[in-house]
Structures are given as structure tokens and as C-alpha cells.
Amino acid sequence: MEKKGFGNTKAVPDEAPKPRSKPLKRPRQARAVFTVEAIYQAFVRIWQRDGWAAVTTRAVALEAGFAVGTLYEYFPSKQALFSGYVRHCIEQLLSRIDEQVIAPPLDWRTRLSRLLWLSCGPQESIYQLFSFEVAQLEIQVAEPRHHLRAYQELLGKWQQVFAACSDLPQPATAARVEALLLMVWGGRRYAALAQLDEARLRSWVVEMEQLLLAALADSARTIPSESNCD
């Protein structure tokens, strides 16, 4: 039987996007936040259990226990639901970095290790967004400006993390922080396209952790600039 869900290795069939592939509004009141969260949970359950083809706005509404009209107040299509869920996961990650990495009194090694595992660990909820299937679906809903926005938000959060590492052997420059972000997130996204299994992914994170910490421990060493590499 073919395994379905986020890890499905089959290419997602072409599906013409509906006129509106973005959420209509963001929940503001507590009740609305609860409703949208329940919709997202139902969306994920159907997707993981039955695959993307089984996801419909009606099926998600029934799974969540709401009228279809309630779902349509926020999501006019399943593409809009997918787009909203991706945004929701990114916001959750940024919030968890604030709470678990930036706020606590940690030494720099623990702080950066925690940042890496929160961002890339296969046990984290953000892992659901890194799969071959999701990469195919992104084409339907994501525009260059959406990728740029997410990148800028992640970069800003990483800069905050490094700013909190007051005990680093040497403060990391903005260029180094961005280079490390690209190294980590670029590798993570390519691992999804290569469809690495969880064991290989975990090994990659362990190796990346060692490389990251070693590079920063040795940050006092002068790195030749491009202009001096002639």
C-alpha cells in the first residue's frame, strides 16, 4: 500500500490554483484563533492520513466539526488553507525561538544548539513543512515576495539570537550570521528535495551542530576577505 501524507514520494499532480489561494483574513479574537487552530489540525490529520488529493474544504470542515461556511470565512480554497498553515508554522517557529532560545539565560553553545534543533530537528513540528510533497505544493501558492518575507523574518530572528550570545568568543558579524542561516536552511530544504529519511536527517543535524559550534569557537581566527584571496 502506498504511504500517504507529508512524506509521500510521488510527485503531486498538477492542479490549477483557484482564483484566491491566500487566506481571506487573520483570526484576531480568542474564539477565532481557536477555530482556525482546529481547522489547521483537521487539515493536517486528513493530509497525513489520506494524502493531498483527499483534502477538500468540505472534508476539513467536517473533520474539524464546523460548518463549511465557517471555514470559508478564512479559507476560500484548500490552497489558501495550505498557505495559511505554512504561515502559521513559521510564526510558531519564530515564537518558540523567542521563548526557548532568546529569553532564557543560556551559554552560547546551548543557545545555538537549541536554535539549530528547533529549526531542523525531525522531532519538531516545523519538520512537516520540509518534505518533497510540500516543496511541490509551494509552487502553487508561494510567490517570490513570500519566500523573501520568510527569509527576512528568519534572518532577523537569527540576528537576535546571536545578539543574545554575549559570551561568544567574538561577536558574529551580520555577514557571518547570514552565511550560517543560508548554510543551515539551504541544507535543510535540499534534504527535503533529496527525500532523506529521518535517521539520515538526524545525522545531518548532529554534524551541522558540530560544524556550527566549532566555527564559532574558532571565530577569533581571522578569515581572509575576498579581496585578499587573489
- Domain CATH for 30: 1.10.10.60
24/113 same-domain check: no
Do residues 94 and 68 both lie within one domain?
Answer: no
Give the CA dihedral 125, 131, 134, 135, nearest 10 degrees: 130
Sorted by sequence, the CB contacts under 8 Å of residue 112 that are 6+ apart come out as 161, 165, 212, 213, 216
Q: Considering the entire predicted model, what is its pTM?
A: 0.80
Parent domain of 106: 86-219
Confidence of residue 221 (pLDDT cuts 50, 70, 90): low
Decide if 52 contacts 137 (C-beta within 8 A). Answer: yes
Assess if residue 70 is contained within a domain. yes
Between 1 and 119, the more confident residue is 119
Are 62 and 104 contained in the same domain? no
61 and 139 co-located in one domain: no
Range 144-173 average pLDDT: 94
- Give residue 3's pLDDT: 43
92 and 60 within one domain: no
Residue 156 belongs to a domain: yes
Same domain, residue pair 103 and 175: yes
Q: Domain check: are 109 and 209 in the same one?
A: yes
pLDDT tens digits for range 120-144: 888 766 666 667 787 778 877 788 8
Span between the terminal Cα atoms of the chain, in Å: 58
Q: Is residue 84 scored above 50 in pLDDT?
A: yes
The single-letter DSSP state of residue 13 is: P
Tell whether 230 is covered by a domain: no
162 & 126 share domain: yes
Share of the chain above pLDDT 70, in %: 83
- What percent of the chain stands above pLDDT 90? 54
Cell numbers placing 220:
577569533
Whether residue 6 is contained in a domain is answered as: no
Q: How many domains does the chain have?
A: 2
Is pLDDT of 226 > 80? no
Mean pLDDT across 55-70? 95
- Segment 141-153 shows an average pLDDT of 89
How far is 218 from 191, CA to CA, in rounded Å? 27
Give the pLDDT mean for 27-31.
85
In a domain, 149, yes or no: yes
pLDDT(11) > 70: no
In-domain check, residue 122: yes
CATH number of the domain to which 143 belongs:
1.10.357
Report the Cα 201 to chain-centroid distance in Å: 15
User: Do 134 and 174 have their domain in common?
Assistant: yes
Chain CA centroid to CA 125, Å: 8
Q: Please indicate, yes or no, whether residues 68 and 91 belong to a single structural domain of this protein.
A: no
Residue 7 is given by DSSP the state: T
Distance CA 9, CA 6 (A): 9
- Name the domain boundary from 28, 44, 76: 76
* CB-based contact 23:84 (threshold 8 Å): yes
